[in-house]
Structure 1
Amino acid sequence: MKTLNEHLSQYAAYHRDRRNIVTHFIGIPMILLAVVVLLARPAFEVAGLSVSAATLAVIAATLYYLRLDLRFGVAMGVLLALCLAVAQATASLSTGAWATFGVGLFVVGWVIQFVGHIFEGRKPAFVDDIMGLVIGPLFVVAELAFLLGLRREVEAVVESRAGPVRSGRAMNT
């Protein structure tokens, strides 16, 4: 299994334009929430708890992120739990409202992602490695941590392997 630094460095190599990273701060959370929302139906009662494919996916993803890194794993687990809470509330809406919300978030999130990759001038990471779909949300959390001055040791490794983040042409003027 790849390490946290290997995953983030590989993903970051496709994301060095600051404008692309900014679009990921918007698009990836939308896509992540959309997937959890769309997996929240149907749900079954198991020992008094509502269990759906979303519940199982959130548990599996959280365990994977925890295995990569405890601190980032806890952050991802909290974010995924919040997504699950929203998804469960959304799942109680009418089928039309639930599907419109989930599909709408998914489509708009991907449009934002692809706009970012136009800025980048490079295809999305998942095209070459499907794990990019799992690492994307972790990348956003890591980039936020870096902006806050946290996990400098991880940031240093990622930048040494993927290169520094570039300002976009429009940002240099």
Structure 2
Amino acid sequence: MFAGRSWEDWIRQYSQSHQNRWNQLTHSFGIPMIVLSLLLALLSPFVTGLWPLAAGLFLLGWALQFIGHAIEGKPPEFLSDWRFLLVGTRWWLAKVTGRLD
């Protein structure tokens, strides 16, 4: 699935298109919002009222992603390779745990 590349290689490439601090900031909020929205969407058939919250978080999270890329002046990596949708979450985790260079 990852074409013989390590997570570190994928994250390094992802980081290259996320150099601007404002882009990093929008991603630092947008990525967890998107992940949380997906989890809430999975729970929404069982819990009344979650669907609007999940949809709102999803839309706002993606809006932040695209705002960040507009500021950066670079397209999102996932437009060239869908696997970067997964790498973004790992990048965020590395960033918040201090494991990102």
* Paired residue type of 1:5: E
Q: CA deviation at 1:40?
A: 2.9
2:62 alignment partner, one of 77, 89, 110:
110
Identity %: 34
Shift of 1:28: 0.4
Aligned residues: 98
Give the letter aligned to residue 143 of structure 1.
K
Per-residue deviation, 1:4: 1.8
Give the structure with higher Rg (CA). 1
Q: CA RMSD in A?
A: 1.5
Question: 1:126-141 maps to which residues of 2 (within 5 A)?
Answer: 126-141=78-93
Residue ranges of structure 2 left out of the alignment (5+ in a row):
none
- Could you list the structure 1 runs, at least 4 aligned residues long, displaced by more than 6 angstroms after superposition: none
Q: Quick check: 1:120 aligned with 2:72? A: yes
- Counterpart CA distance in 1 for 2:19 and 2:74 is 10
Offset at residue 145 of structure 1 (A): 2.8
CA distance, structure 2, for counterparts of residue 2 and residue 40 of structure 1:
33
CA contact (8 A) 2:69 2:76 kept: yes
Code of the aligned partner of 1:14: S
Q: Which of the two has greater strand per residue? A: 1
Alignment deviations for residues 112-152 of structure 1 (CA, whole Å, 9 cap, x no partner): 11111111101111111111111111101112233xxxx4x
Scaled by the length of structure 1, what TM-score is found? 0.53
Map residues 73-152 of structure 1 onto 2, 5 A cutoff. Answer: 91-92=46-47, 94=48, 97-146=49-98, 151=99
TM-score of the aligned structures, taking structure 2 as reference length: 0.87
